[in-house]
Amino acid sequence: MKILIIEDDREAATFLKKAFSEAGHTADIAMDGETGFAMADTGNYDVYVVDRMLPLKDGLSVIRELRGKGNTTPVLILSALGEVDDRVTGLRAGGDDYLIKPYAFSELLARVEALSRRSGSKDVETVHRVGDLELDRLSHTVTRAGEEITLQPREFRLLEYLMRHAGQVVTRTMLLENVWDYHFDPQTNVIDVHISRLRSKIEKGFDKPLLHTVRGAGYMIRAD
């Protein structure tokens, strides 16, 4: 995956570039808004990671102008601003995701990877399959090895989100945001308990685990 990092803090940008390449991606750096806009406009990137406060042209203007030119590449906004409505402003400007500094790189990586898939075709698929687990979005049924599993509505949405990002790390905050539609940071391990419930439902009686815990990052559903 090819990522464009528009960030004026040299150290942070270099760290991101290195960390992305260690995760198997390539990344370019732009140190100001003007350069970032030019590179985004001409280069062929899968995701833009844009800092909100940039010299020459601020992050939101860069995004707005790109969107104005019909560029639909997913954008993740990085921001030190965490006011109540900052996120809304950021997303309204055309951002696809919003991450407040300081953040864990694992969180950023998971979100960037999730974003790149968004532009793919998975959203329109009606049936998700991971190994012998199958989720049908239309009939709202889940089966494993042909056996039907009964899930609560929220558990269904949780599993759907995990399966849509099968093979990718999904963080706890991503789950809270996408499954519950809340953006705060819960004090305790509420998500973990939901996951372990879901896990017991889809794995009980089967040998092969599907829902894995990725230490220090989140969860991942995969077949092997």
Q: Which residues here bind another protein, judged by CB under 8 A?
A: 82-85, 100, 102, 104, 154, 180, 182-190, 193-194, 197, 215-216
Residue 156 amino acid letter: F
- Least Cβ distance, residue 126 to another protein (angstroms): 26
Instruction: Report the relative pairing of strands 170-171 and 218-221 from DSSP bridges.
Output: antiparallel
* Alpha-carbon gap, residue 216 to 185, rounded angstroms: 16
Nearer of residues 44 and 150 to another protein, judged by Cβ:
150
**Least distance between another protein and beta carbon 215 (Å):** 6
Identify the CA nearest to 215 among candidates 175, 169, 161, 178.
169
Q: Give the nearest distance from C-beta 161 to another protein in angstroms.
A: 15
**8 Å CB contact between 98 and 111:** no
Which candidate, 145, 144, 146, places its Cα nearest to that of 198?
A: 144
Nearer to another protein, 123 or 185 (CB): 185
How near is the Cβ of 188 to another protein at its closest, in Å? 6
* Cβ atoms of residues 67 and 94 within 8 Å: yes
We find the least distance from the C-beta atom of residue 61 to another protein, in angstroms, to be 20
Q: Which is nearer to another protein, 83 or 136 (CB)?
A: 83
29 vs 100 by CB, closer to another protein:
100
By beta-carbon proximity to another protein, the closer residue of 82 and 209 is 82
Q: How many alpha carbons fall within 13 Å on the CB side of residue 64?
A: 10
